[in-house]
Amino acid sequence: MVKSELVRVLNEKLPELRESDVELAVNCMLEQMIAALAIGERIEVRGFGSFSVRQRPPRLARNPKTGETVNLPAKTAVHFKPGKEIRDRVDSTRDQSRITD
């Protein structure tokens, strides 16, 4: 779901709120999540999942086109672990989706 789609859906569920207010609330929430992750905090959204920051060490990789060895620097990555509810819902619709193994 794209952010504008999220705003539209929330606005339909909460028609008493102006679309601009819903958009402001969504943007504030996302900004706070980004700020928390930027300082290394873990975020948990019950029933949805958790976000955390992981450090990846430097490593040697290979360019698949040329076969040349490349040094990749250390980096910080955001990790998402889905909660049980979201895993179960996604699993239950697997046969209806275009996802293949």
Read off the pTM.
0.71
Query: Which residue has better confidence, 94 or 10?
Result: 10
Which of 2, 27, 22 lies closest to 10 in space, CA to CA? 22
Q: Hey, what amino acid is at 72?
A: L
> Does residue 88 sit in the same domain as residue 50?
yes
Residues sharing a CB contact under 8 Å with residue 69, sequence separation 6 or more, in sequence order: 60, 61, 62, 63
pLDDT in tens, 48-60: 999 999 999 999 9
Q: Coil, strand or helix: which one is 67?
A: coil
> Does residue 36 sit in the same domain as residue 55?
no
Q: Is residue 16 part of a domain?
A: yes
Pairing status of strand 49-56 against strand 75-82? antiparallel
> Does residue 19 sit in the same domain as residue 60?
no
Domain count, the chain: 2
pLDDT in tens, 2-27: 567 888 888 888 889 888 888 888 88
